[in-house]
Amino acid sequence: MGLDVNAVWRYAPVERWTSGAAAVILLTFDVDAETMLLGEGGDRYASDLSGMSHGAFGATVGLERLLRMLERHSTPATFFIPGWTAEHHPRCVERVAAAGHEIALHGYLHKPPSSCDQDEQRAEIERSLEVFERLGVRPVGYRAPVWMTTSYTLEQLGSYGLQYDSSLMDDDKPYLLDTPSGRLAELPPQWYLDDGEQYLYLPYPGFDGVIQRPSSVADTWRDEVDAYRAIHSLLVLTAHPCLSGRPARVRALESVIEYAESLGDVELARCDEVAARLLETPEVELLQSRPGE
Amino acid sequence: MGLDVNAVWRYAPVERWTSGAAAVILLTFDVDAETMLLGEGGDRYASDLSGMSHGAFGATVGLERLLRMLERHSTPATFFIPGWTAEHHPRCVERVAAAGHEIALHGYLHKPPSSCDQDEQRAEIERSLEVFERLGVRPVGYRAPVWMTTSYTLEQLGSYGLQYDSSLMDDDKPYLLDTPSGRLAELPPQWYLDDGEQYLYLPYPGFDGVIQRPSSVADTWRDEVDAYRAIHSLLVLTAHPCLSGRPARVRALESVIEYAESLGDVELARCDEVAARLLETPEVELLQSRPGE
Amino acid sequence: MGLDVNAVWRYAPVERWTSGAAAVILLTFDVDAETMLLGEGGDRYASDLSGMSHGAFGATVGLERLLRMLERHSTPATFFIPGWTAEHHPRCVERVAAAGHEIALHGYLHKPPSSCDQDEQRAEIERSLEVFERLGVRPVGYRAPVWMTTSYTLEQLGSYGLQYDSSLMDDDKPYLLDTPSGRLAELPPQWYLDDGEQYLYLPYPGFDGVIQRPSSVADTWRDEVDAYRAIHSLLVLTAHPCLSGRPARVRALESVIEYAESLGDVELARCDEVAARLLETPEVELLQSRPGE
Amino acid sequence: MGLDVNAVWRYAPVERWTSGAAAVILLTFDVDAETMLLGEGGDRYASDLSGMSHGAFGATVGLERLLRMLERHSTPATFFIPGWTAEHHPRCVERVAAAGHEIALHGYLHKPPSSCDQDEQRAEIERSLEVFERLGVRPVGYRAPVWMTTSYTLEQLGSYGLQYDSSLMDDDKPYLLDTPSGRLAELPPQWYLDDGEQYLYLPYPGFDGVIQRPSSVADTWRDEVDAYRAIHSLLVLTAHPCLSGRPARVRALESVIEYAESLGDVELARCDEVAARLLETPEVELLQSRPGE
């Protein structure tokens, strides 16, 4: 096996976690806000007020606009909020919680675990948990910043009472991981389902993507919905309010939601719901071997 | 609040600054010319005569062509001109002024404030003001080169008699900032509304974008006009004469202007006009809190 | 001659290697798996569990899905598998072999020959051959990782009993190379026929491509099939299961296979078959000079 | 004036250099071949046989294919050939000359003047002239590698008996430059009219463009033909045989030539012809000031 982790992969039958839908879409938002810069180099980029304001848009105007759009469709979503964002934009946490969405962990300063030592890895999680505790929120899921987790961070998650992770990319169906600190559901993301690859451009600190036309992004995402339906997979769509909260992009995302709704057999769910279904699967139904292993 | 600025955000009702239009488009041109290279590394790139000529096109042929196009449509625009450009291409300043467009500050050598110390930040502004004074121009607005301003530069603007800034990205509606040196209007730009992201390619000094087809850029910008109209926002479109002054790109930009004109409810305005409307808003109508805060 | 190699180029008539088809498509898969990271910097990226899982997808879920798709069409293919992948994912080798596809060499840790000294170059091949011997597989072909071979590696291939190489880009028809260690068939690849250029994005270690829409990639590839047919060339299509094994991308690749099948005059073959046809060409029919030399 | 050159810009009326056509297209090919790597770092990339073969394609197969295509349309063209390419691929020079096309200078090892000291700048030109003299070719034009010329190189050209340069980007109409060593015609290129920006991808040495679909490149170029016609400009199209000599790309370029031919009022010419027309313009008709100066 290629992944060096003290964990056992286990698979539940599709019917268990889809509850019968042809495919499940997890609409997830990473509210990085200013940490998109801070996590790349501490104070190095903090003096760039324009770059910081680009991030701040995500925790304020962009977030509000997306929340209103989700409300129009009664669409449930999961918001991965770095501890720093929650601490500096407490209103953002209040608004997301009040709208009935899920709030999950996404590091404190958006530092990827793979660039931290073990103490820092734990600190990024623990500091965030403290912030959310003060705000009355109890996250049950975690996503590694920049999707660069480590076996160490993965194996710690259970000890914080977390029930799922969304950082590994070795499948497009969800699965279970039995780690030394407990069983986790894994809800696998993928770079091509992240709006950052399509929209993120900030020349410093080197986010030099090619900004795509929103209507073309929506076309691509609709194709993905079709492809995931056909094979009953879990489409974890990741958007950033500082990117997808812009006028034409909100429309693009809304058109994908409308398309999914129109199909009649696609479910839009929160991460914690799908994680719970996986974790509730009777032991006897679980398969241990990974596909292809 | 995530932005570390000694300023207070204040918002005017949409009707005040749009004067009733569904959306306002600010057509802005950054006449970087050779400073596009010089600001990246002083003399390091100055010996590259081809790269310098690529910039010079913007202050000469490209500018002339765009001025004629604007004249055909009686479209008002704002030209952000670095002091160095004004000094070395004084005819450029004359032509823009004679055509009735606004001229505003854009640094002296196009050095981003966030890569300058405080003395250099002031020098970039003061040296530019001296050049424009000699040319008989009195700018009232400022845009940070590479959209990388600092809280220091932002807080100095009022002391130079400036009335607006166009460097922050935390909204797509304009707003007011009460800084220690006075009240400023903020007219927020965004990278995805900058033709640089679509057209700029110069392998040295590392401008390695992917050049887009002009007709496709026009399609994208028309989508944005629609999206901004729908939510009554301020579309600050930024073009560079050294890029958008090329034959097919002038046509692309013209087609966007024609589209906006055809809608009947979109206003094309100069930055100073919208800034003035904001600044004239009666105190009693202003809201203090930022959206989402 | 521009290529500094102790080899003589020799050309067989098109009819010999196409066996009468208008064009031949070699569908090839590089099963880099985790070596996509490991080959870039040894242990440096190994701690990034997410990146590693992105690779692992290729040797497991992605591979299985592609094998099933190929089975639906009875399409033969060649899988270039790094030794490390074969060693850590032995099931992957079994599955490919059981499905009747060809397995060929692709380095051990996916280190490009041009960044290795001569000892390391030999070790990358020898270590892989040992792994495959243990697994009962006898490869006859080689492709340099990252398509960066050296004259040294090329000239060694014959001594390992290999019959073809797929690393040079100086033609789009196959040819023969008489090297000091024996005659090789060369089956030339090209970057624009590699799904990596279209799909690969991993910010660390700097794979910063722009992810394309799968349906658009399929459109492009169909154009290439047409262009290669018109001039009777060899279209060596390269896909990576960690990229092209994703839902919408499997559909895109399948649509290209369906298109090729529908034409009636295009052959889909394994590399070893076309290499054998070239090597069997009667000496008298071979031309020695390279086109244009 | 922003360009630090000891030269005077002079302009001829459009009718002189177009000879009545609505626009003139100069089809130019840069036959960089292996120097695309060598010029970036001497021997550093020379051991990468695959990269070198990617270049070699341009001087052999790709070149032959493009020559045949041009012959089908009796289209004249100019080939800028680095001295190294001519020395190592003498057959390439013979073939281009025999087909009646123009051959012009493009450095010796494809090293940009702006990264060379003055001795090296002269050596790049002189060494190339020696190679061409041995091959019986007398170039009259020059284009700086990577379009990074210097005022020094520009001012030397006349002393070598050269009549035109194609390295500056401050106009899209041709003009005259009176330099200390004589009068030159300038035939301005532009990055967006270079197939490298659309097709070049070689991860080492860092050519990390995004490969475009050939039919889409052809669409873009047809748009440019229309735009240049409308304003009577000079469209200097630059292609590299190692890129545009590939099957689908030859078709794309051919479709642009067919489009230009179909228009009836567009001329396809060699660089030396247009340069000669400019140089023959009666003194009395020349304007001295640059547009916008």
pLDDT band at B293 (very low <50, low <70, confident <90, very high): low
* Percent of chain C clearing pLDDT 90 (strictly above): 92
In a domain, D78, yes or no: yes
pLDDT number for residue D3: 75
B201: left (phi over 0), alpha (psi -120 to 50) or beta: beta
CB B184 within 8 A of CB B166: no
- C30: domain range? 8-285
Sort A13 into a burial class: Cβ within 10 Å, 0-12 / 13-18 / 19+: exposed
Q: Could you report the per-residue pLDDT of D120-170, keeping only the tens digit for each?
A: 999 999 999 999 999 999 999 999 999 999 999 999 999 999 999 999 999
Helix crossing, A61-73 with A247-263: angle to 10°?
A: 20
Q: Cα distance from D289 to chain B (closest Cα, Å)? A: 11
Is D170 within the bounds of a domain?
A: yes
CA distance D153 to chain B (A): 10
At D2 the pLDDT is 62
Number of domains chain D contains: 1
- Minimum CA–CA partner of C226 in chain D: D248
Residue C63: predicted pLDDT: 98
Q: Which of D95, D67, D66, D82 is nearest to D32 (CA)?
A: D82
Q: Which residues pair with C232 in a beta bridge?
A: none
Q: Which of B1, B14, B36, B192 to mutate to test the interface with A (most CBs of A within 10 A)?
A: B192
Mean pLDDT of the A91-100 span: 98
Phi-psi region of A286 (alpha: psi -120 to 50; beta: other; left: phi over 0): beta
User: pTM to 2 decimals?
Assistant: 0.97
CB within 8 Å: C2 and D56: yes
Q: Which of D3, D223, D227 sits opposite B52 (nearest CB)?
A: D3
Q: What would the two tokens of residue D79 be?
A: 């080939």
Is the Cβ–Cβ distance between C163 and C184 less than 8 Å? Answer: yes
Candidate from A34, A49, A201 with C-beta closest to B151: A49
pLDDT digits (tens, 9 = 90+) for B192-220: 999 999 999 999 988 989 999 999 999 99
Q: Say yes or no for a CB contact (<8 Å) between C46 and A4.
A: yes
**The predicted structure's pLDDT at residue C231:** 96
The whole-number pLDDT of residue D48 equals: 96
Q: Does D290 fall in a domain?
A: no
Q: Give the pLDDT band (50/70/90) at residue C212.
A: very high
What per-residue confidence (pLDDT) applies to C61? 97
Residues 213-272 of chain B with CB under 8 A from chain A are 216, 219-220, 223-224, 226-228, 230-231, 233
Do A150 and C204 lie within an 8 Å CB cutoff? no
Task: Judge whether residue B175 has pLDDT over 50.
Answer: yes
- To the nearest whole Å, the CA of B15 is away from the closest chain D CA by 40
Contact D55 C144 (CB under 8 A): no
Angle between helices A49-59 and A61-73 (to 10 degrees): 20
Chain mean pLDDT for chain A: 96
Chain B hits for D154, Cβ within 8 Å: 49
CATH number at residue B85: 3.20.20.370
Mean pLDDT of D266-280: 98
Q: Do A49 and B293 touch (CB under 8 A)?
A: no
Strands (E), C60-144: 78-81, 102-105, 141-142
Nearest to D49 among C151, C291, C292 (CB): C151
With CB atoms and an 8 Å threshold, state whether D192 touches B246: yes
The answer to whether residue B36 is domain-embedded is yes
**Nearest-angstrom CA–CA distance, C155 and C164:** 11
CA distance C166 to C187: 5
Amino acid in position D130: E
Burial A249-280 (b: 16+ CB within 10 A, else e): bbbbbbbbbeebeeeeebbbbbbbbbbebbee
Q: Are A79 and A90 in contact (CB under 8 A)?
A: no
Question: What contacts A69, CB < 8 A, 6 or more positions away?
Answer: A250, A253, A254, A257
Question: Is-cis flag, bond preceding B205, omega within 30?
Answer: yes
Instruction: Give A134 to chain C, closest Cα distance, Å.
Output: 30
d(CA D276, CA D285): 15
* In the predicted structure, residue C291 carries a pLDDT above the cut 70: no
Residue with the two structure tokens 């003299």? D133
Distances from the Cα of B191 to the Cαs of B110, B203, B270, in angstroms? 17, 20, 19
Q: What is the pLDDT of residue C44?
A: 83
D239-264 pLDDT per residue, tens: 999 999 999 999 999 999 999 999 99
Task: Say whether B246 and D172 touch across the interface (CB within 8 A).
Answer: yes
CB atoms within 10 A of CB D114: 26
Q: Is residue B29 part of a domain?
A: yes
- CB contacts, 8 Å: D33 with chain C: 2
* Chain B closest-CA separation from residue A82 CA (Å): 13
**Interface check D149 vs B, CB under 8 A:** yes
pLDDT digit string, tens, across residues C59-117? 999 999 999 999 999 999 999 999 999 999 999 999 999 999 999 999 999 999 999 99
What proportion of chain B, given as a percentage, has pLDDT over 70?
98
The DSSP code sequence of D117-170 is -HHHHHHHHHHHHHHHHHTT----EE--GGG---HHHHHHGGGGT--EE----S
Contact D54, D34 (CB under 8 A): no
Pairwise CB contact (< 8 Å): D172 & B201 = no
- Residue C1 pLDDT class (50, 70, 90 cuts): very low
Is the pLDDT confidence value at C264 over 60? Answer: yes
Whether D292 is covered by a domain: the verdict is: no
Partners of A201 in the β-ladder: A208
- pLDDT at residue B81 is higher than 90: yes
Interface test with D, best of B29, B35, B37, B53 (most D CBs within 10 A): B53
Complex ipTM, two decimals? 0.96
Q: Is residue C1 part of a domain?
A: no
At residue C293 the predicted structure's pLDDT band, cuts being 50, 70 and 90, is: low
CB A106 within 8 Å of CB A30 = yes
The shortest C-alpha distance from B252 to chain D (Å) reads: 10
In a domain, B290, yes or no: no
Q: Is the per-residue pLDDT at A10 higher than 50? A: yes
